[in-house]
Structure 1
Amino acid sequence: MIEKKAEIDRTISFLNIASRNAQVLLDQALKPLNLNTSNYYFILKIAGHADLTQDQLFNLIHLDHSNVTRRLDQLMQLGMVTKIRSTKDGRQWRLSLTDSGLALVPQIEQAVTAVNAKFFHRLTPVQVQTLTVLLTHLQEE
């Protein structure tokens, strides 16, 4: 059983190190856009969904409400996102990108593509696909 525990600890350690390495690369690539790994994803999600509410964003991103609200506030202060109270339901907030937020989408996608190429350069396309499938299974509840 000790070997099994050591193997699990080693695997989790590798996942954490790989995650941190990917975050460092992505933070470096996003820095010129005044973004980071904590907030770029919000812009891509908002851009990909017309008429998105803040509640829908919570469900897409799988973070708690306070983290989402804090990141949205940052993006609003940077002039990238707007939040408007819904006319249909005054309790909901509608999210949209400003013109400057929209202009960042292709640059973010380009940065993410470059980081993915750099991060996964040691793996074959089949290995990347297998890793994606395995990680998908790990996040399922």
Structure 2
Amino acid sequence: MENKKEEHILDHGPFYHGTKADLKIGDLLTAGFGSNYYPEIIMNHIYFTALQNGAGLAAALAKGDGKERIYMVEPTGAFENDPNVTDKKFPGNPTRSYRSTAPLKIVGEITDWIRLTDDELQNWKERIAKLRENPDAEIIN
């Protein structure tokens, strides 16, 4: 698997994607859906992380009423560090977050991870709401 900036990619897997969608092994996750944080924006990339708990946070914040899920995924094409958190907000890639325009293939599901408490989830929702109020906050799509 070749990456746009191989020398800057910290991880080569395993990778995870958090969601509330009920999917199966072999399914493909694709870009082209509304952002969980800015639903008016249709995303050009599919996002994933090398941290299970990071995927758990994404699952908790995902839209919908479904069960929180973390899927193990494999990129099917090139990927890059997520510029929304890499260097723009945090030096390097401490969140180990990535994105791709190519689909992610589901290769497994994680059922045991550290879930957010109700208070932690509320705190994250409030932080996201404050970001949305900031006119300088933008998402790199």
Q: Scaled by the length of structure 1, what TM-score is found?
A: 0.27
Q: Relative to total residues, which structure has the larger helix share, 1 or 2?
A: 1
Q: Relative to total residues, which structure has the larger strand share, 1 or 2?
A: 2
Q: Scaled by the length of structure 2, what TM-score is found?
A: 0.27
Structure showing greater radius of gyration is 1
Tell me which of the two structures has the higher relative contact order, counting C-alpha pairs closer than 8 angstroms and 6 or more residues apart: 2
